[in-house]
Chains A and B, each alone.
Chain A
Amino acid sequence: MTQAGRRVAAAAGLLLALALPPVRHVLEASMSAQMLLQLPLFAAAGYLLGCALPARIGASAASWNYHGISGLVLASLASAYWMLPRLLDASVTEPAMATAKVISLPLLVGLPLALSWPRASFVVRGVFLIELLATLFRLGWLYLISPLRLCNNYLLDDQQRLGQLLLAAGAGLLLWITCKLLWGRFDLARYAADDQTGRPRPESGTPPTLSA
């Protein structure tokens, strides 16, 4: 099996597993599990699919996806949508919203992320990482201090635990970014990927080569 084939199989397996009623039930029984496991796993399935797509698909969209910006905007908007308490509630109780969640997270979050992140430059990645960081802290803080239940389907202590976990995730991400900035190796030329192919530019100093 080719690498792409393995990725498609993994994505299909993941989607199938998430759709199994007992798995769905467990992941939707708590707010923390839905938000920190179910939603990211749906997006991960889409990411795997995106990685398996032939390079020419990403390349053909490249002129509309300069530095991956359009794709990252799409992924941010679609994921923001599923962070609203009202939609978390609705996706548990309304079949139409459950279907919308299953379709949109892989196709509108994971897949564009896979096509766009490798094209994103250092600055673009920084902007989106900071936005993710801010979102984790904002939502975590909101869930932690809200005296009201924001979802009718979840208990207050569950909501507060999710708040703590989101703050912890934010702290972890901040630590990772800090370490990366302090000690990481940055090949800035690599980030300045060629717009058309998404492949890294050749190292400076080495003569450009023709690739098949």
Chain B
Amino acid sequence: MRSALRTSLASAALVLSGAALLAGATDGFRAFTAEAARRIAVRERSVMVPRVMLETQSGERIEITDLRGRWLLVDFIYTGCTTLCLALGSDFARLQDDLAGPIAQGRVRLLSISFDPSNDPPRELAAYLRRFHSRGAGWLAARPTNNAGLAELKQRFGITILPDGFGGYAHNAAIHLVDPQGRIVEIVDLGARSEIIESLRRFGVT
């Protein structure tokens, strides 16, 4: 029957092109969410950290590019956060212990960037670090000094921030690994400390 044959051919062609399109849209069936996509993207095409002015917990102003020359672990926080950032904060506190050696040698640094700069002056940033009993060494908390800088950071790192309706924010929390040349090379889940340490070992840092 001709029309049955033609229809089988047409349907098969549709399924094949649909599968090809889907593969293209999901990085070869690997990323079905925007979050997975951004992690694959940095692993395959290195994304440069933008040149943005930051103000640290001590009130010092630095260019984020001044921190090049060592590995950076970057997370995005706001100090008023009572949920995800608490987990990020305690993760960083533990990483500070795990990586005490490389930190002391100046090969690794932790950087928490606030995406709520108007509510996070240096005083709040310092209190944030104290809350997690930061050992001081090698953990900076900082806020971008202008909105353009914040927008650029959000865009390059792929951070989406939503008001949660209760005065706080929902955000895609993760730990970003930046190499000494200032390239974002890996993004891992919060809580995945062993993955970070494993990656650093793979890159020959620890």
Contacts and interface: CB of A to CB of B under 8 A. Distances in A.
B15 A86 contact: no
Interface string B27-41: 000011111110000
Contact of A66 (B4, B33, B164): B4
A78 B21 CA distance: 10
B18 interface: yes
A63 B6 contact: yes
Contacts of B15: 73, 77
A90 interface: yes
Given A66-B3, A155-B170, A156-B170, A86 B162 contact: no
Q: Is the interface of A mostly helix, strand, loop or mixed?
A: helix
Interface in B1-35: 1-4, 6-7, 10-11, 14-15, 18, 21-22, 25-26, 31-35
A151 to B, nearest CB: 7
Contacts of B11: 69-70, 73
B16 to A, nearest CB: 10
Nearest to B158: A152
Contacts of B160: 93, 152-153
> What is the interface residue range for chain A against chain B?
20 to 34
Interface residues of B, number: 28
Q: Is the interface of B mostly helix, strand, loop or mixed?
A: helix
B173 to A, nearest CB: 10
Nearest to B34: A89
Contacts of B146: none
Contacts of A118: none
Most interface-central of A90, A152, A195 (chain B CB within 10 A): A152
Contacts of A40: none
12 contacts: A65-B10, A66-B4, A66-B7, A81-B21, A85-B33, A86-B25, A86-B32, A86-B34, A149-B170, A151-B34, A152-B160, A155-B164
Interface of A: 62-67, 69-70, 73-74, 77-78, 80-81, 84-87, 89-90, 93, 148-156, 195
Given A149-B35, A152-B172, A195-B3, 9 more contacts: A63-B7, A64-B7, A64-B10, A65-B7, A70-B14, A84-B25, A86-B36, A153-B34, A153-B162
Q: Give the top 4 A-B pairs by smallest Cβ distance, nearest first.
A: A77-B18, A66-B7, A152-B160, A89-B34
